[in-house]
Amino acid sequence: MLSTEKSCKPENSISNRTVALIVATLASFFTPFMASAINIAIPAIGSQFAADVILLSWIPTVYLLAAAVFAVPFGRIADIYGMKKIFTYGVIIFTISSLLCAISPSILTLIMFRVLQGIGSAMIFVTGLAIITSVYPPRERGKAIGINIASVYIGLSLGPVLGGILTQYFGWRSIFIAVIPLGLLVLALTVFKLKGEWAECIGEKFDIKGSIIYSIALVILIYGFSILPGELGIILVILGVIGILAFALFELRVKNPVFEVRLFKNITFGFSSLAALINYSATFAVVFLLSLYLQYIKGLDPQMAGIILVAQPIVMAITSPVAGRLSDKFSPGLIATIGMTVTAISLLCLTFLTANTSFEYIITVLLVLGFGLGMFSSPNTNAIMGSVEKKFYGIASATVGTMRLIGQMLSMGIALLVFSVFIGNVLIEPSNYPALLTSINTVFLICTILCFIGIFASFARR
């Protein structure tokens, strides 16, 4: 394997940069596409398997949980053994697990295969961004990151639309089948076209004990959060927090830690990571909540619901590359703070949803939300990746992915908690639509408060 410092750097040529960007961008497309598409299909899955809302919520949640648990360990493994190698294996696992999800005979097996899919996603997330950061010079990095993040939003935008069409005409299983050809294409380009390897920590040991402590603590924390406000949930959340603190203390004493905790002493890295965590915690559940709202409260079919939900990610996809370019010229922190502020205002508007809210109002708010998220994500990611040395690119990329995934997971956890309080473990029927609407409004209010806190975190790193 070649180090980016010790080689003649053929992997940093303009042509290879282009291949790296294409490969990472395509992979960044189909993973969020799967996440958003499956959200629109949840009512159909629930109907086929006669599953309650809590069990259905685990379909997106276990995917995020698995990805979050494995992101940090695979970020470190990629630094040691090579970004391209881990990326390739990730694409293989994701593609195979998509096929397994498509043929799942029950909701429990579907959830199990979603865990495997989450592992593959973690391997893709932590290496794709790191590869782009490795091959692009700082003056062009923001633009490349912006394009990469734009592909994430394009995946999010096409997910509800294509997911709705596929679900309505071919069934929810077709969503998983649709990503398999794209996975094979990315695999072929990576193996045959992408040259070189990126591994700055060759020969260093992998911290197995730290990885185990981190994984167990995170699983306990998230599972405990999902079963709040029960007594067992409170106990598990406390144990999870203690486990995370123990992990941080353990990593400070390890020669080659799986996660370099000292990176958080870097003001830019620390506050940018915190801002990302808050932003995703406040916004990821939007598609899930509005999918339920549009299909149950407003009575739309999956296709029409998807067409409405596409407004947000389309604006995100347009805004993100522009914001990335701006972050190459101006303060990434300032641009990201503006985006966080706009996001908070749009979430506040969603707290006023009623059964009679017009579609024009919903679409307008989604457009504003998309602009805010697009202005935040690219500059914030550029700030994180640009604040560390090359040998930490893998773990920095893992941090970006972990903050996103934990944030997304907490966002779903908030929704699960509120649903359990207002609705309970029952099927969604017309008789409990008022409770569903109250739950949705409550979640949006909590997310609004989180996002306003995030404004201060984003501004502090300037």
Q: Output the pLDDT for position 92.
A: 94
pLDDT at 226: 63
Q: Is residue 5 domain-resident?
A: no
Residue whose C-alpha is closest to residue 42's, from 304, 311, 291: 291
Same domain, 123 and 178: yes
Nearest to 75 by CA among 201, 240, 254: 201
Q: What is the pLDDT of residue 11?
A: 57
Domain presence at residue 1: no
Residues 201, 227, single domain; the answer is: no
Q: What is the pLDDT along the chain (462 residues), one digit of tens a residue?
A: 333 334 345 555 667 788 888 888 888 888 778 877 887 788 888 888 877 777 787 888 788 788 878 888 888 888 888 888 899 999 999 999 999 999 988 888 999 999 999 899 889 878 887 788 778 877 777 778 888 878 877 776 677 778 888 888 888 899 999 889 989 998 998 888 887 777 777 777 888 888 899 889 888 887 776 666 677 878 888 898 899 899 888 888 888 787 778 877 888 888 888 888 888 888 888 888 888 888 888 888 777 887 888 788 788 888 888 888 787 777 777 888 888 999 999 999 999 988 888 999 999 999 999 999 888 888 888 788 777 777 777 777 777 777 876 777 778 778 877 887 787 766 677 777 888 888 889 999 999 999 888 888 777 665
71 part of a folded domain: yes
pLDDT of residue 254: 82
Residues 64 and 202 in one domain: yes
C-alpha of 194 from chain center: 25
If one counts the domains in the chain, the total is 2
* 437 half-sphere exposure, CB direction, 13 A CA radius: 16
Predicted local confidence at residue 100, as pLDDT = 93
Residues 6+ apart with CB under 8 A from 428: 46, 53, 292, 296, 436
Domain that holds residue 64: 10-206+256-460
Q: Is residue 46 part of a domain?
A: yes
Same domain, 274 and 310: yes
Q: Is 438 within a domain?
A: yes
- Look at residue 81 and tell me if it is in a domain: yes
Regarding whether 286 and 241 lie in a shared domain, the answer is no
- Same domain assignment for residues 245 and 370: no
Domain boundary among 193, 226, 255: 255
Q: What is the number of other CB atoms lying within 10 angstroms of the CB of residue 175? A: 27
One domain for residues 221 and 298: no
pLDDT digits (tens, 9 = 90+) for 92-143: 999 999 999 999 888 889 999 999 998 998 898 788 877 887 788 777 777 7
**410 with 317, same domain?**
yes
For residues 221 and 292, membership in a common domain is answered with no
Question: What pLDDT score does 6 carry?
Answer: 40
Q: What CATH number should be reported for the domain holding residue 195?
A: 1.20.1250.20
> Alpha carbon 317 to chain centroid distance?
15
Residues 441 and 319 reside in one and the same domain: yes
Residues 317 and 351 in one domain: yes
Task: Decide if 391 is inside a domain.
Answer: yes
Query: Which pLDDT value is given to residue 444?
Result: 92
Q: What pLDDT sits at residue 311?
A: 84
Asked if residue 274 belongs to a domain, the reply is: yes
**Cβ pair 316, 370 in contact under 8 A:** yes
- Contact of 386 with 141, CB cutoff 8 Å: yes
Residues 324 and 238 in one domain: no
